[in-house]
Structure 1
Amino acid sequence: MDIKTASSLRRLRLVSAPEAVSFILLLICSVLKRTTDFDAVRPMGYVHGMLFVLYVIFWLDAWNRTKWSRGTGILYFVLSVLPTGGFFAERKLKREAEAAVIAARARKEGIVNA
């Protein structure tokens, strides 16, 4: 994996958890708006919207660079629209990055998979 691909995966991973947290907070703010006088939907919606747009931009970049299959690319997008999906995406991306590092070290040391 080259440095640009690793960077694109890292960016996607770093924005996925905050995007999930902002989605959950937006849902909580929506419930509070309807049940109390607390109204933070507009600012929380703005924060979540910006994080979601960043996620989609980084997702497209990562999909383009990693050459994921259609199913894998769609899975990462679906995880972004589920309230806790960003946490699962972050964990899956972390495992994928670690596997790529191990593979790169093995290639560097001349170890070939049998």
Structure 2
Amino acid sequence: MDNLQLKSQLNEKQLTIFNQEYDKKKRSVLIAWLLWFFLGGLGVHRFYLGKTVSGIILLAFTILISWATFFIPTAIWLIVDAFLLPKMIGDKNREIEKEIINQIKGVVTSETV
């Protein structure tokens, strides 16, 4: 079931809780782009979006390989990330939505038992 269908099953109180939690936890497009622009070579934008493994790989790649090759591989990776960033942000925010919905539904089912 997609997030829209799951949200439609929430009552008003649950939807209010969902909106408050989502506003606190969602990833900002502006922050992601600023991290990409200023600290992209260190993979900080990937860490921000929960992509820890690829963030570590990019960081290691920049430190170990790019110094010898004048940062060309890192620049290529960052250009590709520029096109992938909107999708990564959307995916992370949908993941956050689903987690919040599942938490709310879990709380409700445990309260009614």
Q: Give the TM bin, normalised by the shorter chain.
A: 0.3 to 0.5
Normalised TM-score (structure 2): 0.35
Q: What TM-score does the superposition give when structure 1 sets the normalisation length?
A: 0.35
